[in-house]
Amino acid sequence: MAILGPVTDLLVRVHLLLRAAGSTIATAESLTGGRLAVALTDVPGGSESYLGGVVAYATELKQSFLGVDEELVEQHGVVSPECAKAMASGVRAVTGATYGLATTGVAGPGEQEGKPPGTVFVGIAGPGILEAVALELTGTRGQIQERTTREAFQALEAVLRREETPLG
Amino acid sequence: MAILGPVTDLLVRVHLLLRAAGSTIATAESLTGGRLAVALTDVPGGSESYLGGVVAYATELKQSFLGVDEELVEQHGVVSPECAKAMASGVRAVTGATYGLATTGVAGPGEQEGKPPGTVFVGIAGPGILEAVALELTGTRGQIQERTTREAFQALEAVLRREETPLG
């Protein structure tokens, strides 16, 4: 059960960017099933920037924990940019974190909502920020989960770097 | 970022015991930071028995997500059997799962609440069940997190096997 992975430079960079801005983060995970949380709690001193989060594997938990609107799920499905954004926004609101980072999609091996494995959406919410990134990943179930984790932190880093340099 | 670990026989046994009883499980994690969730979502077909859960890294999230009483935390601390039981009971109530499995304790390297690294409590809540298991673990931060994960599932398996054989 060697779940623990090495801390990558990416995670350390994200942690340092958050800390430098006095910001915090919370996570809302579907297909990654806790992998974002494990990565963030692997970073030395990670508790300074990471508050915690939710693994909303069952659809009902997306609603009860994160306040994702039932109508939104009925209209767009859980494998959608709308759901990714609502999860990110929801976990940010519930935890009071500066940023919310969310994943939803199809890890496989089977389809979900008629969408093939690898169809993934990452949601990022922050002050004045609400974005979804669409990914089309390939690989085994495990590889898709791992690649989603990496892509989610890359997307977050891009947002944090953009915020670091005010344009105004 | 190879967070994904191999599915162990222990996890498969737990999943099959839950499925055979038509039971579900939810997790509430502090020091394991998502490792219980990752392990449960590694099991093929795991979504049949695993609903999801909470990573309550910051103490406030133990209260907001899990309804852990502020007075309980003030009186006993978060590194306590009382908090482990309240987290397990809380996540069970919020998610509607048959069982709640919780971890709280000191992963290290530093002390927390005056308790040394390796002081860990596992909470299990179920129908008529509310128990805490005290652990004294050794090792690095990563080893303590990994050992807690294994011990938590071993404790859960023991409860599930006991429930499987009615004594009455």
Q: What is the CATH number of the domain that holds B71?
A: 3.90.950.20
What is the rounded CA–CA span in Å between residue B43 and residue B117? 29
DSSP conformational letter for B151: H
B10 occurs within a structural domain: no
Contacts with A23 (C-beta within 8 Å, 6 or more apart), sequence order: A49, A98, A99, A160
> Strands A119-126 and B119-126: what pairing?
unpaired
> Strands B25-29 and A25-29: what pairing?
unpaired
> Strands B129-136 and A50-56: what pairing?
unpaired
Residues of chain A contacting B, Cβ within 8 Å: 1-6, 8, 10-11, 27, 29, 33-42, 47, 50-58, 60-61, 64-65, 94-96, 142, 145-146, 149-150
B130 occurs within a structural domain: yes
pTM (whole model) above 0.95: no
A138 occurs within a structural domain: yes
Task: Please give the pLDDT value at position A6.
Answer: 59
Task: Please give the pLDDT value at position B83.
Answer: 98
For B15-44, give the DSSP string. Answer: HHHHHHTT--EEEEESTTTTHHHHHHHHST
Q: How many structural domains comprise chain A?
A: 1
Between B6 and B137, where is the model more confident? B137
B2 occurs within a structural domain: no
Task: Please give the pLDDT value at position B3.
Answer: 41
Choice among A5-9, A126-130, A147-151, B105-109 with the minimum mean pLDDT: A5-9
Tokens of B61: 């999230």
How far CA A46 is from CA of A52, A84, A145, B71, B83, in Å, comes to: 10, 24, 21, 27, 22
CB B100 within 8 A of CB B123: yes
A2 occurs within a structural domain: no
Asked if the model's pLDDT at residue A3 lies above 50, the reply is: no
DSSP-derived 3-state class of residue A119: strand
Which of A7, A9, A12, A41 to substitute to test the interface with B, most B CBs within 10 Å?
A41
Owner of token pair 């039981």: B85
B90 occurs within a structural domain: yes
A1 occurs within a structural domain: no
Range of the domain at A130: 9-164
Nearest to A34 among B2, B38, B60 (CB): B38
> Strands A99-105 and B129-136: what pairing?
unpaired
Number of alpha carbons in the 13 Å side-chain half-sphere of residue A148: 37
